[in-house]
Chain A
Amino acid sequence: MSLAGTVLRSRTLAALTSPHSVDRYLELVNPMWAAREVRARIVDVTREVDVPGHPPVATLTLQPTSTWRGHRAGQHVQVGVEVDGARRTTRVFSISSSDSRPGERFTITVRANPDASRRQSVSRWLVEHARPGTVLHLSQAQGDFVLPDRVPEHVVMISGGSGITPVMSMLRSLQRRSHRGRVTFLHYAQSPEHQIFAGELEEARRSGHGIDVHLLHPELGDPALSPAYLHRLVPGYRDVATWACGPAPLMEAVLASYDGSEALRTEYFRPPRAGTGASGGELVFSRSGAAAANSGAPLLEQAEAAGLTPESGCRMGICLSCVSRKSEGTVRNVVTGEESSLPDEDIRICVSAPVGDCTVYL
């Protein structure tokens, strides 16, 4: 591979395939050949839990292309799929397996999002329809929510809901690296039935390697996260290296309990906010840091009113000079009336009016 890789990534080959990239040719022969892009073939799909009436969860084992640079436990990856065979939609998923090296297999664990429409839901498609053999588009692993190379003697991991995936990856990595220190692992879930990785966590607890596992279900009477509770489990916890990941309410409790301690590292997944169906709300221009009350006019006009000078041309939606990235919120195309709420979407700001809160990179 390395010789082939050197050739594929050479400047000469790039000059020969210019103006297109080498990958644009390779993918036509075999989607698993790539010089720069990252793709992966699904090699296995395993259902984790399947509680009737609740969104199913599945773990997908992925064989990436040789361009995959590997990941560190706790990182995430962007996964792009064409749900309807035409529109590629991209979502971020945490990697659930232990650290991977370049080109090495890894897993993502996905909970089907029950709220998303079928057409746009990557998670539902991955859990319900993805089959071994399917090729996915990936980014390289991203994120700083990672274990350091030298892991402290005692670590605390706190997670809630789907936030278990990155910390599970950390726990698995620690086991693989034969970490002999102490790990306090706290996880909050709705009920024991929802608990993914339950068997493996139980095994870890019994392994005798100093892993304390606490699976908590406050709805069934278990203690909620509080300084007092943490103190009981880990005296002086504010000075113990802690990794926490979960839904907003849990994270608020964690932040409050650690009170600005430097030992705490967090990862936060915010669900995409749906449009409110009306104007009003707040506009955030994330590049310039400006903000404004949403007047309901097209974003280009509102940005200009806020003193910004975004690039523009025709101002009628045909030339694409004004395309910008919307990271959050819903916009309505004033020409077609179509609404769209996808996160990280390129939109023509001259014909896109925000509906409710909206964040655009301007």
Chain B
Amino acid sequence: MTNPGITLTTEQLEEFGDELDAIRQRILADLGEADASYIRDVVRAQRAFEVAGRALFYLPPAWPLAVAALSISKILDNMEIGHNVMHGQYDWMGDPGLNSRMYEWDNVCPSEQWKNSHNYIHHTYTNILGKDRDIGYGVLRMDEDQPWHPYYLGNPAYAFLLMVFFEWGVAMHDLEVENLVAGRRKVEDNAALHAGIMRKVRRQAVKDYLLFPALTGPLFPLTLAGNAAANLVRNVWAFNIIFCGHFPAGVATFSQEECEDETRGQWYFRQLLGSANITGSRLFHLMTGNLSHQIEHHLFPDLPARRYPEIATEVRELCERYGLPYNTGSLGRQLGSVAAKICRLALPDRRERSRTPGPVVAEPTAA
């Protein structure tokens, strides 16, 4: 376990939980027109970028611009809109267009399946080894406590592929391919999921790789390449932001035993230690869907993301008071830290080698 040994007493945990609940309640009571017009503005901007992108493909010299506009549209659609709407952040508005039950995003992963693997599994069991399947997505070794295997020598290569094909990785997440390979899951178990994924994949592919290119006539190959490029940009961006939110140095993971019968305070505590933020400008936060405030998002997954920056000040202050770490850093720093971890964990642990059979001894203490 990589929990760096930070603890709070039971009473402290309780207070800590109450303080966070109070923040949550205050924001809930304050939701209103500003939040509604914010998300509507983002939707309007996203649709405008999309239309602009699709239209610019008719102008071959503007190809890079078209790709840029479409990439921005897809990033906004997936992050500030899709991810957040599907967390129910705007359900209180009663607008079917912004409702978690009805929203479908521009991504090959069907929203229904994503809500299970993400909203339920990942957000409930955040960073619990063996439960949170987002740790390594079933293909990577992202934690010291995942036992090393020669397969993991390919860790950096797998990470690169997962980045390039991120939306496909997310779509296959629920299929639990690693458990299929290991014989812990049967192919039949996936039949219903398969059907859903194929339906969604077909729709996305027909639109991006057939219909829109065909509509540009002789420019078909250029448009097709442009659409593929926009999907790639979105994949690379989303992968990096998400990996910076959970895998930089200093993020804790937990064992299943530790998390049995958690109180609300303990749950908050784990969410805090299991996430990391990225610093940046307002525009940067928008483009990450405010997942640059991963800590606040994990504490309050269903509060509108535009509130995270404002909440962050209070959460930081709380952390200082309780002597808890608040993991944040620039994009460069967090990315570097994640990359280093991916490479380091490709190799067997030095610690692990020294741990091989022998009497169990207390951890060597520094002089």
Chain A residues proximal to chain B, CB less than 8 Å: 12, 15-16, 18-20, 24-25, 28, 80, 82, 84-90, 313-314, 316-321, 323, 335-338, 346
Q: 8 Å CB contacts to A: which residues of B157-212?
A: 200, 203-204, 206-207, 211-212
* A20 / chain B contacts, CB cutoff of 8 Å: 104
Structural contact, A316 and B212, CB atoms closer than 8 A: no
If A12-B211, A25-B47, A336-B24 touch, whether A86 touches B101 (CB-CB below 8 Å) is no
CB of B59 within 8 Å of the partner chain: no
A327: shortest Cβ distance to chain B, in Å? 15
- Cα of A337 to Cα of B25 in the assembled complex, Å: 9
- Cα of A89 to Cα of B92 in the assembled complex, Å: 10
In the complex, per-residue mask of B82-120: 1 if CB is within 8 Å of any chain A CB, else 0:
000001100111110100110011100000000110011
* A319 / chain B contacts, CB cutoff of 8 Å: 115, 119-120, 123-124
Structural contact, A89 and B207, CB atoms closer than 8 A: no
* B33 / chain A contacts, CB cutoff of 8 Å: 84-86
Structural contact, B92 and A19, CB atoms closer than 8 A: no
B140: shortest Cβ distance to chain A, in Å? 24
Structural contact, A346 and B101, CB atoms closer than 8 A: yes
Closest B residue, CB atoms, query A315: B124
Q: Which one, B97, B100, B203, contacts A19 given CB within 8 A?
A: B203
Structural contact, A19 and B106, CB atoms closer than 8 A: yes
Structural contact, A87 and B44, CB atoms closer than 8 A: no
- Closest 5 CB pairs between A and B? A313-B120, A88-B94, A86-B36, A19-B104, A319-B120
* B24 / chain A contacts, CB cutoff of 8 Å: 335-336
If A86-B31, A318-B301, A336-B24 touch, whether A16 touches B119 (CB-CB below 8 Å) is no
Taking A12-B211, A24-B97, A314-B119 as given, write out 10 further A-B residue pairs in contact, using a Cβ cutoff of 8 Å, ordered by the A residue number. A15-B206, A15-B207, A18-B207, A28-B47, A88-B94, A88-B95, A313-B119, A320-B101, A323-B88, A346-B91
19 sampled A-B residue pairs with Cβ under 8 A: A15-B203, A18-B207, A25-B47, A28-B47, A82-B93, A313-B119, A313-B120, A313-B124, A314-B123, A317-B302, A319-B119, A319-B120, A320-B87, A320-B88, A320-B100, A320-B115, A321-B120, A335-B21, A346-B91
Q: How many residues of B contact A (CB 8 A)?
A: 45
In the complex, per-residue mask of B34-50: 1 if CB is within 8 Å of any chain A CB, else 0:
01110000011001000
Most buried by B among A87, A90, A319: A319
* B200 / chain A contacts, CB cutoff of 8 Å: 19
If A86-B35, A318-B124 touch, whether A24 touches B21 (CB-CB below 8 Å) is no
* B148 / chain A contacts, CB cutoff of 8 Å: none
If A318-B301, A320-B119, A346-B91 touch, whether A84 touches B32 (CB-CB below 8 Å) is yes
CB of B8 within 8 Å of the partner chain: no
CB of B28 within 8 Å of the partner chain: yes
For chain B, what secondary structure do more than half of its interface residues adopt (helix, strand, loop), or is it mixed?
helix
* B207 / chain A contacts, CB cutoff of 8 Å: 15-16, 18
- Cα of A82 to Cα of B36 in the assembled complex, Å: 10
* B115 / chain A contacts, CB cutoff of 8 Å: 319-321
- Cα of A24 to Cα of B51 in the assembled complex, Å: 13
- Cα of A87 to Cα of B91 in the assembled complex, Å: 9
Closest A residue, CB atoms, query B21: A335
- Cα of A89 to Cα of B94 in the assembled complex, Å: 7
A28: shortest Cβ distance to chain B, in Å? 6
If A87-B93, A316-B267, A335-B21 touch, whether A28 touches B120 (CB-CB below 8 Å) is no
Structural contact, B116 and A313, CB atoms closer than 8 A: yes
In the complex, per-residue mask of B277-299: 1 if CB is within 8 Å of any chain A CB, else 0:
00000000000000000000000
Closest A residue, CB atoms, query B82: A19
Structural contact, A85 and B36, CB atoms closer than 8 A: yes
A228: shortest Cβ distance to chain B, in Å? 48
* A80 / chain B contacts, CB cutoff of 8 Å: 94
* A82 / chain B contacts, CB cutoff of 8 Å: 36, 93
Q: Which one, A88, A89, A316, contacts B124 given CB within 8 A?
A: A316
* B97 / chain A contacts, CB cutoff of 8 Å: 24
* A89 / chain B contacts, CB cutoff of 8 Å: 94
Closest B residue, CB atoms, query A90: B94
Structural contact, B203 and A338, CB atoms closer than 8 A: no
B208: shortest Cβ distance to chain A, in Å? 10
Structural contact, A318 and B116, CB atoms closer than 8 A: no
Structural contact, A318 and B47, CB atoms closer than 8 A: no
* B95 / chain A contacts, CB cutoff of 8 Å: 88
- Cα of A321 to Cα of B115 in the assembled complex, Å: 8
* A335 / chain B contacts, CB cutoff of 8 Å: 21, 24
- Cα of A257 to Cα of B95 in the assembled complex, Å: 44
B36: shortest Cβ distance to chain A, in Å? 4
- Cα of A276 to Cα of B337 in the assembled complex, Å: 56
Structural contact, A318 and B123, CB atoms closer than 8 A: yes
- Cα of A323 to Cα of B92 in the assembled complex, Å: 13
If A12-B211, A15-B203, A19-B104 touch, whether A88 touches B21 (CB-CB below 8 Å) is no
* A19 / chain B contacts, CB cutoff of 8 Å: 104-106, 200, 203-204
* B302 / chain A contacts, CB cutoff of 8 Å: 317-318, 320
Q: Which one, A12, A15, A24, A336, contacts B25 given CB within 8 A?
A: A336
* A28 / chain B contacts, CB cutoff of 8 Å: 43-44, 47
* A323 / chain B contacts, CB cutoff of 8 Å: 88, 100-101
Structural contact, A86 and B301, CB atoms closer than 8 A: no
* B91 / chain A contacts, CB cutoff of 8 Å: 320, 346
Q: Which one, A16, A25, A318, contacts B211 given CB within 8 A?
A: A16
- Cα of A222 to Cα of B207 in the assembled complex, Å: 69
Closest B residue, CB atoms, query A88: B94
Most buried by A among B44, B92, B124: B124
Closest B residue, CB atoms, query A312: B120
* B203 / chain A contacts, CB cutoff of 8 Å: 15, 18-19
* A314 / chain B contacts, CB cutoff of 8 Å: 119-120, 123-124
* B36 / chain A contacts, CB cutoff of 8 Å: 82, 85-87
B199: shortest Cβ distance to chain A, in Å? 11
B198: shortest Cβ distance to chain A, in Å? 15
- Cα of A273 to Cα of B277 in the assembled complex, Å: 46
- Cα of A338 to Cα of B264 in the assembled complex, Å: 18
Most buried by A among B35, B119, B121, B212: B119
A269: shortest Cβ distance to chain B, in Å? 22
Structural contact, A88 and B120, CB atoms closer than 8 A: no
- Cα of A316 to Cα of B204 in the assembled complex, Å: 34
Q: Which one, B28, B43, B119, contacts A318 given CB within 8 A?
A: B119
